[in-house]
Structure 1
Amino acid sequence: MPAYRAVVFDFFGTLTRAVQRGPQHAEIARSLGADPDAVTGVLDRTFRARARGRYGSAEATLRWVIEQAGGRPREAQVRAGVPARVNALRADTRLRADAVTVLTALRRRGLATAVVSDCTHELPAFLPQLPVAPLLDAAIYSVRLGVCKPDPAIYLAACDELDLLPSECLYIGDGGSNELTGAAAVGMTPVRLAAPDLIHHLVYDADTNFAGHTVRSLTEVITLIDHSHLHPTPMPTP
């Protein structure tokens, strides 16, 4: 039997290939009367606050971002901008070629699967339409929970949904948001995905000090499960 009963995945950069903002984001900024570079600057420096839902609904958040960038959008423009942002984020998102195959293989082995993502309002709007959605037993979104990784609450929320202990969960992530050390801190076994394309990934707060297990592809996770001799990653000495 596998040593683990569930595999918990990060989403962006883990179940997906590296993410960069595409041209639709600049078009949205211009349509709302703001300079695209100014909007990009606001988006970058406020990601964690937006991912915690600090600025309210999707419409309220978009309005706030545009106003911070010098725009004064009308209500109708903001309403149109929200689905445009969902479409833009979805266009930026390409599932890894082996994502569906790996999730299917895990479930066939009797393991539960989950996603834990630091994300803004857009991901909950489009993830349910992706091919991976039916293969996930739980999806934890920071924007709905109100906390980001590495806060213990976001990992424990996944455990609660799965009705499992953290020690029964393998955690797979590219290392953004200090997610790997955060997973280890609650008792999960973290594994870094170090796929070659991630050199181009848009990442915040990279987990640069992580020295635990590493795989180069999602498919290697199946090998880890089938030959599981993994042990919890020790936390660094303060």
Structure 2
Amino acid sequence: MLIQAVLFDLFETLISEWRNGKREKGHMFHEIGLNEELFKKEWHKRLDKRMDGTFSNYRSVLIDILRAQNMPIDLKVLDAAQKQRERVKSLPFEQINEEIIGCLSELKRQGIKIGLISNCTPEEITAWEACTLSQYFDDVIFSYKVKCAKPNPEIYLMACKNLKVEPEKVIFIGDGGSNELFGAEQVGMIPYQATWFLSESRKENINIYPKLTHPSELITIIRGEA
């Protein structure tokens, strides 16, 4: 089978938020008056609406949480929280793994179309346009912009339509979050789990899909499919 396109996930596939086993603090829950446990509970409850663009930005999510708790709203604190969130989320874009760049370059050289599907919110991808990665992509889909998120079949089919390719001739690469590999498989794509940024426990958590330990392995697979 001739592979026509490769679709990538973004976080923990092309970039990683983890450094030396830690992820920098991205929330200011104490500053806005919430304890961590309550904040995480309320944050998770709004996951779907955050990913599908119901909330316009991080600040609007915080306002909704505070209103639900009948708590006072300090707009200056929320503005600071918004800026902090944007700063933290931009960090992973500053240093891109050279193996990933090499893989994308080779895909380009071979004439393979390259697409991105990311479940994300506006503040998470403010650094995308200026990032080295952006120049390699023929199509980019951010869930909040299209009001649809993985694993909904529509978002995968949207990417195929944009790239003018059939799902059966597309490889999908992702770390496996949001049940994205299952979603890709359901529409006929060929899913692979990207494990190069994952801990051992996360690698084993999704064990039904073939795993890639290095980006270069993707090139070997495509050459075999050509």
Percent sequence identity over aligned pairs: 25
| Structure 1 stretch displaced more, 41-50 or 104-113 | 41-50
One-letter amino acid of the counterpart of residue 12, structure 1: F
Q: CA 1:63/1:110 → structure 2, altered by over 3 Å: closer, same or farther? A: same
- Which residue of structure 1 aligns with residue 117 of structure 2? 116
Distance 1:100 1:62, change over 3 A: farther
1:129-168 mapped onto 2 (5 Å cutoff): 129-168=130-169
Kindly provide the amino acid, as one letter, of the partner of residue 138 in structure 1.
D
Contact 2:15 2:92 in 1 (8 A): no
Structure-2 separation of matches of 1:51 and 1:183: 18
Match of 1:225? 222
- 1:47 deviates by 2.4
Superposed CA deviations along residues 111-165 of structure 1, whole A, max 9, x for unmatched, are 1111101112223322212210111111111111222211011111211221222
> CA-atom RMSD, angstroms?
2.8
* Structure 2 gap ranges (5+): none
Which residue of structure 2 aligns with residue 234 of structure 1?
A: none
TM-score normalised to the size of structure 1?
Answer: 0.80
Superposition deviation, residue 79 in structure 1: 3.1
What runs of 5+ residues in structure 1 fail to find an aligned partner? 230-238
- Report the CA distance between 1:190 and its aligned residue: 1.0
Residue-pair matches, total: 222
Counterpart in the other structure of 1:197? 198
Q: Which residue of 2 aligns with 1:236?
A: none
For residues 18-53 of structure 1, give each alpha carbon's deviation from its aligned partner in whole angstroms, at most 9, with x where no partner exists: 64641242xx33343433443333333432331112
Matching residue of 1:181: 182
Alignment of 1:15-54 (within 5 A): 15-17=14-16, 19=18, 21-25=23-27, 28-54=28-54
SS of the residue corresponding to residue 212 of structure 1 reads coil
State the Cα deviation string for residues 70-112 of structure 1 (Å, max 9, x = none): 7533233333332321111223566444221111111111111
In the alignment, which residue of structure 1 is the partner of 2:208? 211
Show the counterpart of 1:13. Answer: 12
Distance 1:97 1:17, change over 3 A: farther
1:67 Cα deviation after fit: 4.6
Cα distance in 2 for partners of 1:199, 1:42 equals 29
1:86 alignment counterpart: 86
What one-letter code is carried by the residue in structure 2 that aligns with 1:217? H
- Using a 3 Å threshold, how does the CA distance of structure 1 residues 164 and 196 change in structure 2: closer, same or farther? closer
Q: In the alignment, residue 84 of structure 2 is paired with which amino acid? A: A
TM-score by length of 2: 0.83
